[in-house]
Amino acid sequence: MTKATAPLTKGSSGSADEEALREAALEAADRLFYAKGVQGVGMDELRTASGISLKRLYRLFPSKDAIVEQVLLGRHRKWTEGVATAVARETQPRERLLAVYDFLASWFTEEDFRGCAFINSFGELGGTSPRVAEIVRSHKDDFQKYLSGLTAEIGAPPSLAPQLAILAEGAQTTAAISGSAEPARQARAAAEVLIDSALSRR
């Protein structure tokens, strides 16, 4: 298991109440960071949005950086589960690969979609926060490894997985800028070409 898939740690007391407060704080932070960017959200705004006092927030998390870390780890789990669920709906190996892009198309139509939280966070903090950079790289590496497993199912060469990953990454950025789900459909069409070409060379 990579660091990006490590479970959230419990608070020092491990109490149900404290865990509920942690989850409330992380939910508010996730929503605010994704909408405004990490640097655009101060602890006072997080206090107001979560309904948790600053004193209690700092008791739950030693710093804002710690909150950012936990938000990204939570995003990683949600992404992994979402992709896996979409892929599991398909039974044919080729369709399982293409289901990744169907997942993207569905995600891009969500009202609050504003791109990949990992790319956004790396753009803001990757140069100053080694831990954020590490989590983002681990997340992207995990996704490519997941695609490697799917490409192996169809007997495609290992080189196909990074190519498909780049299509998915590009679609996320383009969709965020354009405000359209069309990049997912375009990436899916390109993926079909790459898959068929890879299989024809076996």
Residue 134 has pLDDT above 70, yes or no: yes
Q: Pick from 22, 38, 61: which residue ends a domain?
A: 61
Q: What is the pLDDT of residues 34-86, one digit of tens each?
A: 999 999 999 999 999 999 999 999 999 999 999 999 999 999 999 999 999 99
- Is 7 contained in some domain? no
Query: Would you list the DSSP string of the chain?
Result: --GGGPPPPPPSS--HHHHHHHHHHHHHHHHHHHHH-GGG--HHHHHHHHT--HHHHHHH-SSHHHHHHHHHHHHHHHHHHHHHHHHHT--SHHHHHHHHHHHHHHHHTSTT--S-HHHHHHHHHTTT-HHHHHHHHHHHHHHHHHHHHHHHHTT--TTHHHHHHHHHHHHHHHHHHHT-SHHHHHHHHHHHHHHHHHHHT-
| Residues 131 and 167 grouped into a single domain | yes
Domain that holds residue 168: 72-202
In a domain, 22, yes or no: yes
Please tell me whether residues 44 and 88 are part of one structural domain.
Answer: no
Over residues 12-30, the pLDDT tens digits come to 445 889 999 999 999 999 9
pTM of the model: 0.88
Same domain, 99 and 195: yes
Residue 54 located in a structural domain: yes
pLDDT digits (tens, 9 = 90+) for 75-112: 999 999 999 999 999 999 999 999 999 999 999 999 99
- 82 shares a domain with 50: no
CATH number of the domain residue 41 falls in: 1.10.10
